[in-house]
Amino acid sequence: MIVNMIGSFQRNAPFGTEIAFAKGLIQLGVGVNTWDPSRTEYDDGVTLSCNAEATIVFKDHGEKTYDILTKLKMAGQVMIEYQPDDIRANGIHGMMSKMLQYCDYAFTFDESGAKIAEEIGYKKAKKLLVTADPELYRPLNIEKDIDFCFVGSMSNPESHKSRREMIEILRRAGYTVEFEQSMFDAKRINELYNRSKVVVNHATDMGQEFGTGYGYQCRHFEAGMSGACLLSNSLLDEEPDGPQQFVMFNSRKDLLIAAEDLIDGWYDGPVYEKQGIAFYNEIMTSHQPIHRAQEIVDFINGL
């Protein structure tokens, strides 16, 4: 099988979801051609194959890609739009609707996104969870000198309000909390995960209550691969095929109770340490790039 992939392979290096999926496909023996439309030296898509079985487009890369997408579709390829963002988020539904003219199929952030994609016209859609790269995110066996850390954007005053509040609640309780908003230095982020007793997470605010959110983010898988314990918001759309071995909170009070249990608890060793081991084993068993790649291959073969 040969698969074309269009995404920000250079801009997001060394890690991006498209890069992880490509690595997984290569591990399975799939031939992979990639094109990053942001690279001017390849702005005509010459790295793509007209003989590929499928083309996967990550999000929407604009006007310069549309003629190429049309040609590949006319050549009879399976054209798949991959949308790693929640279709409830601002602008994502519109992007999916726009890409429908170039792609007949879709991979989505969650199951509800897949249903909506089919409702707006995609012939078939499937939830495809994100993952991370175990070559970049891995245990380092260094001292855990930080109680909590958070990695992710906090720039939006409304959609990231709960993230900022989560950090302030923990700091007011006397815990050390560090955060990193730049997500392009994988080595630095992996070191931060490894130095932290617990990695915390809160989904983007879209009108839901504090302590709740939709779906899994890349940091779920990055933290798990690093061997860290994860404390995250409760999932409003939890499904059995996603990671289970992380600790969830669903309110401000619950956040503090869980924090104390993880940091101060002891069960034949620190609770955060035991939870981190369980989470690592789960992620490495079921949620590596090769596992996502197999889902992609099965989807294409089933059409």
Residues 178-218 have pLDDT tens digits of: 998 877 789 999 999 999 999 999 999 989 999 999 989 89
**Could you give all domains of the chain from N- to C-terminal order, each with its CATH number?**
2-131+288-301 (3.40.50.2000), 146-286 (3.40.50.2000)
Predicted pLDDT at 282: 98
Q: Which helix (H) or strand (E) holds 118?
A: helix 111-120
Q: Nearest 10 degrees: CA dihedral of 190, 195, 198, 199? A: -30
Give the residue-averaged pLDDT of 129-158: 95
pTM, 2 dp: 0.92
Per-chain mean pLDDT for the chain: 93
pLDDT(243) > 70: yes
Output the CA torsion sign for 229, 230, 235, 237: negative
Confidence label for 12 from pLDDT (cuts 50, 70 and 90): confident
CA distance 149 to 195: 9
Q: What's the pLDDT score for residue 61?
A: 92
> Per mean pLDDT, which range of 44-48, 90-94, 283-287 is the poorest?
44-48
Phi, psi of 55 (to 5 degrees): -125, 130
The pLDDT value recorded for residue 10 is: 83
